Amino acid sequence: MITLNYRDSRPIYEQIREGLKRLIVTGAMEAEERLPSVRTLATQLSINPNTIQRAYAELEREGYCYSVPGKGSFVSERVETDGKRRRELKDRLRALAAELKFLGVAESELVELIRSVPERTDEKEDMP
């Protein structure tokens, strides 16, 4: 499910958030599916429950999940999540492309890089 890399410079909660986001985006977790409880996931990963709670709060803020008091957290419908996330990713891509152009990467090389990305997420080797 989720693996942590203690040598990664990113905080643990970000690694958990990205791991869960990957499961949601790839369809491994479906809409309305219940996320593991904070306590259960904290026990499985041997980390503080507050770290899991922070990751869940970030996912909820981004629209990937929602919480129901007393019931837990659930995967959101993808429709509302997808539009917001697409805008965020396009903005990041524009910023990265601008920086790469500044560093001398040719436009044709950028286009080829985008074309080299697989169409389906299950073919992708390394998702953020």
Mean pLDDT within 34-63: 95
Average pLDDT of span 38-62: 95
For the question of whether the overall pTM of this predicted structure is more than 0.75, the answer is no
Read off φ and ψ for residue 74, nearest 5 degrees: -130, 150
Query: Looking at domain 12-77, which of 1.10.10.10, 3.40.120.10, 3.40.50.2300, 2.40.50.100 is its CATH number?
Result: 1.10.10.10
What is the Cα–Cα distance from 94 to 53, expressed in whole angstroms? 31
Query: pLDDT tens digits, residue range 65-122?
Result: 999 999 999 999 875 656 777 788 889 899 999 999 999 999 999 999 989 987 654 4
Whether 34 shows a pLDDT value over 80: the answer reads: yes
Q: Where are the domains of the chain?
A: 12-77, 79-123
Alpha helices in 64-106 (DSSP H): 78-102
- Provide, rounded to the nearest whole percent, the portion of the chain with pLDDT above 70: 88
pLDDT value of position 81: 59
Residue 75 host element (H or E)? strand 72-75
Residue 124 pLDDT > 50: no
